[in-house]
């Protein structure tokens, strides 16, 4: 029976080799914060971290992940949802319907780990997640807030223009 290292715990799972990691996380381990959107690596709703790197779990066969690799889902990102990205998301009321948001947060957290002070171009390059509610401007503002590059009052104008292109 394969083992996965998920959110700091070794977990047993039982699945065909080609079963996407997403379904093991959601259906066997009950970690339903990671969402299914497209199933073809386009939308990013299924984003988790594997050894700190954002990965789209809908196209990652579970058999290709070893127990040595550390999987982190939105549930394990930080105790009490206290990751700087989660706090910034909360402060700026980023989510609308919320469906894409755990994937957005996981992608943003991985970005900030790799680039603690990202430019807008860095954010645009890394944040390829799709949001049907159009939260892109708030996502960008919240990443800058989480990075400590701006203060809350400095981003009022940015979020007022919400609804435009990413």
d(CA 22, CA 34): 7
166 in contact with ligand FES (CB under 6 A): no
Q: Please, what is the minimum distance in Å from the beta carbon of residue 65 to ligand FES?
A: 15
d(CA 93, CA 23): 29
50 in contact with ligand FES (CB under 6 A): no
Q: How many residues bind ligand FES (CB under 6 A)?
A: 23
58 in contact with ligand FES (CB under 6 A): yes
x/- contact string, 100-119, with ligand FES (CB under 6 A)? xx------------------
Nearer to ligand FES, 77 or 94 (CB): 94
Q: Please, what is the minimum distance in Å from the beta carbon of residue 117 to ligand FES?
A: 25
Stretch in the footprint of ligand FES (CB under 6 A) among 109-117, 120-128, 131-139, 150-158: 131-139
- Which of 25, 83, 95, 106 contacts ligand FES by CB under 6 A? 95
149 in contact with ligand FES (CB under 6 A): no
Exposure string of 133-158, with b = 16+ CB inside 10 Å and e = fewer, is: bebbbbbbbbbbbbbeeeeeeebeeb
159 in contact with ligand FES (CB under 6 A): no
């Amino acid at each position: 029976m394969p083992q996965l290292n998920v959110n700091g715990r070794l977990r047993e799972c039982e699945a065909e080799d080609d079963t996407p990691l997403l379904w093991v996380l959601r259906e066997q381990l009950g970690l339903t914060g990671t969402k299914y959107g497209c199933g073809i690596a386009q939308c990013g709703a299924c984003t988790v971290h594997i050894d700190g790197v954002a990965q789209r779990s809908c196209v990652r066969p579970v058999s290709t992940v070893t127990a040595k690799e550390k999987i982190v889902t939105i549930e394990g990102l930080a105790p009490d949802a206290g990751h700087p990205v989660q706090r910034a998301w909360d402060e700026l009321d980023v989510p609308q319907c919320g469906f894409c948001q755990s994937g957005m947060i996981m992608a943003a957290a991985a970005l900030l780990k790799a680039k603690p002070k990202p430019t807008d171009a860095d954010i645009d390059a890394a944040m390829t997640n799709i949001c049907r509610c159009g939260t892109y401007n708030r996502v960008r503002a919240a990443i800058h807030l989480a990075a400590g590059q701006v203060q809350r009052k400095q981003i009022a104008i940015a979020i007022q223009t919400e609804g435009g292109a990413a």
